[in-house]
Structure 1
């Protein structure tokens, strides 16, 4: 039995597998969990890096040999803009119903998924891959990064996720998923274009002083340092935008918060 930590686009998954399970594919990078990291203990599968920017648990959607697993899933801190840039799909939707379904067609696979039926209100990203989303899928267990949503056809959500090769939309704990009413006006406006204008920028989290940017295309994210929480004023009111000269800087999309981050003006 062996232990290994794996990371894909901000999700960090640690697991131990018994014999008879495929060897893990090489992952692109490894991120340590920092302050604010979300963790959930439970069973995990081997990562399938070939699927692109998805967490390790996506292998549950593929036929695989049965194995006994134990481990955990956690999500490294990330600014909403970063999560939206990484997502293949960004939509506003209501959840109409939910149903527990098998994770794969393999009769030996006992893992389950939740299939949420949704009513899409608006799509912000993903037009070129899918026109209208009827269902989104997530692991049944929160320990596998599953997302629990209110399926009452009343509450609206901002959903971000990935699109699988078969066209299914997959969401998980490490995506940016928030009740629509919890978003600030600036965040809602930034979904249309502003966030995507900054996808070439790098947002660096500042946990303690001293901290500074190391490249002209970086923006320093200081919510944790100043407010001791991740989604503070900077996350709710600012976007990191690339200028014409290739440098990146914070810009506000609404009334300025009462915090001194950097000299900020409208682009």
Structure 2
């Protein structure tokens, strides 16, 4: 009987691990797409870290999370009021994100708000050190990325690849440059034009009317 319970517990643990692994299985996102998909986008410093218990699961086991205390420098997208805490899994195996918490490093943090209005982040969210972002990326946060939220950036992970709808832009950094932080990620935004199609636009300012009126890329 004891052996059956132990086996059942092991199977439950493995099943839970598989679910967490699956939850973290995600493709890289272009910064614009990450911005559009997120509930919250902030620039912040992490000033504290501690492990907390946020409740119990269906089997009565405590749910442990890492709570990061943050000092918000700027909010680009999100609710009214400053974000003061960010929660993530306790380890990378459980989708947790590791951030430096000495208050020296600034991050761009994107994430989702849960039903309790708590910001949660995981390895699938776009989180980068502020200094690693290009000037165009920094200036695009807000209005310029927001302009492209009616478009969809589709990653090309292997050739051949193509878009399936005029409202899509093909993101080729990985196959062309071997990195997801390539030219398109750093310098381009996918923007909707007056004919309803979407196309890449380079620059840190909103597109001019002559670009918006062009029918072909």
| Same topology, TM > 0.5 | yes
Map of 2:17 onto structure 1: 44
User: What residue in structure 2 maps to residue 29 of structure 1?
Assistant: none
TM-score by length of 2: 0.82
* Alignment length (residue pairs): 198
More helix by share: 2
Give the number of the structure whose alpha-carbon radius of gyration is greater. Answer: 2
Q: How much does 1:72 deviate?
A: 7.4
Question: Quick one: structure 1 residues 43 and 231, their matched pair in 2 at CA, closer, same or farther if it must change by over 3 Å?
Answer: farther
TM (normalized to structure 1)? 0.67
Root-mean-square deviation (CA, aligned residues, Å) is: 2.7
Where does structure 2 lack aligned partners over 5 or more consecutive residues? Answer: 1-9, 205-209, 213-217
Query: Which residue is 1:75 aligned to?
Result: 26
State the Cα deviation string for residues 134-166 of structure 1 (Å, max 9, x = none): 101000111111000000111000000111121
- Structure 1 residue 74: Cα displacement: 2.2
1:148-194 deviations in Å (ceiling 9; x for gaps)? 00001110000001111211111111010000010001101110211
Q: Contact between 1:72 and 1:143, CA under 8 Å: does it hold in 2?
A: no
Cα distance in 2 for residues equivalent to 1:120 and 1:190: 19
Q: Which runs of no fewer than 5 residues in structure 1 stay unpaired?
A: 1-16, 22-40, 47-56, 58-69, 255-264
The 5-angstrom pairing of residues 124-135 of structure 1 reads: 124-126=76-78, 129-135=79-85
How far apart, in 1, do the equivalents of 2:99 and 2:193 lie? 38
| Partner of residue 205, structure 1 | 155
**Bigger relative contact order, structure 1 or 2, given CA contacts below 8 A and separation 6+?**
2
Q: Following the alignment from structure 2 to structure 1, what is the Cα–Cα distance between the partners of residues 143 and 15?
A: 37
- Please name the residue that 1:123 is paired with: 75
> Any conservation in 1 of the 2:24–2:124 contact (CA below 8 Å)?
no
Question: In structure 1, how many angstroms separate the alpha carbons of the residues matched to 2:23 and 2:98?
Answer: 17
Note if 1:110 corresponds to 2:62.
Answer: yes
Cα distance, 1:243 vs. partner? 1.0
